[in-house]
Structure 1
């Protein structure tokens, strides 16, 4: 079951036109988090906008602050660790290279249109 914070993150991604968005239930597989939210932007500028929108939306909803954020120096792959869920925001080239959603394809996945 997706939390309200994941729903806010998904709305923020949609607002900034994130692409190829999915929510992967990894709780039974890795144990350190319950869900991955994976999305991508066409370029680093869009990745930055998506990351900022997610952080603002969750904060405005009185949600948790991320435990850590990595990738803010180049905005090619930003990881936002919220504990119960982790958001991965890729630029298009990094998304195609790492194919994180395919790596976890055995886990229950919801594609977001």
Structure 2
């Protein structure tokens, strides 16, 4: 588990994504609709290189806080990288993949906290 509150960590992840020019960053509170975690952070990059850079930055900044992911998926292809931080699950998509999978639609029952917008 992470040492800071999940909401605070999700906010930090958003900042780290913004630092690498990630686009369309959205945080979804899934705590009431899933046991997977408390928050999804979803973002896009415009190329495989940018998607990887965003994921690397999130991982680097989290490690500076002593937080390591439970698992990482998709690094090789860098079309959809998932970083699982237990209560906060980070999805970084290539823009085309994000449109195709449309996680926001699948998790429409989750709430979008206004503090994140």
TM-score relative to the length of structure 1: 0.90
Pairs within 5 Å for 1:20-99: 20-62=24-66, 64-99=67-102
Consecutive unaligned residues in structure 1, runs of 5 or more: none
Number of residue pairs the alignment of both structures matches: 112
Q: Is the 8 A contact 1:67 1:83 kept in 2?
A: yes
Q: State the Cα deviation string for residues 24-44 of structure 1 (Å, max 9, x = none).
A: 011111112111000010111
Is contact 2:45-2:95 (8 Å) kept?
yes
Distance 1:110 1:42, change over 3 A: farther
Task: State the alpha-carbon separation in 2 of the partners of residues 110 and 38 from structure 1.
Answer: 14
TM-score (ref. length: structure 2): 0.88
After TM superposition, the runs of 4+ consecutive aligned structure 1 residues lying more than 6 A away are none
Give the Cα separation in 1 of the matches to 2:103 and 2:31: 16
CA RMSD of aligned residues (A): 1.7
SS at 1:90 equivalent: strand
Query: Structure 1 residue 73: deviation in Å?
Result: 1.1
Alignment gaps of 5+ in structure 2: none
Paired position in structure 1 for 2:13: 9
